[in-house]
Amino acid sequence: MYPHERSLVEQYENQPFVIVGINSDPTAEFLRTVMKEKNLTWSSFFDGGGTGGPIATKWGVNGWPTVFVLDHEGVIRHTSRSNLDEVIARLVREVPTK
């Protein structure tokens, strides 16, 4: 999973795209260790472990990995890992230019 996310970050550098991770590892320290060891360059928030954390609860997450793809207006447009590359490419193209 991390190699694919890393490739997306590289592919969409300087474009309207960002990955934000919500993490269920047992401790925040463990999360920091994983982020360093796996060279994760995107923000990842510790959610208290498991699917009972406040973020997972509010968003209805019941297992990991769960993917939500939001558009440039913050609207959830996709909720699956399938077709992820296609969905992201389409949404990036939809962002109005200034």
Q: According to the model, what pLDDT value does residue 64 have?
A: 84
What residue spans define the domains of the chain? 2-94
* CATH code assigned to 2-94: 3.40.30.10
For residue 77, the model assigns a pLDDT of 92
What is the pTM for the complete model shown? 0.80
Q: In this predicted model, what pLDDT tens digit does every residue of 40-86 receive, in sequence order?
A: 999 999 999 888 999 999 988 888 888 899 998 999 999 888 888 99
Does the pLDDT of residue 88 top 80, yes or no? yes
Judged against a pLDDT cut of 80, whether residue 98 lies above it is answered with no
Q: What is the pLDDT of residue 36?
A: 95
Other beta carbons less than 10 A from residue 27's beta carbon: 11
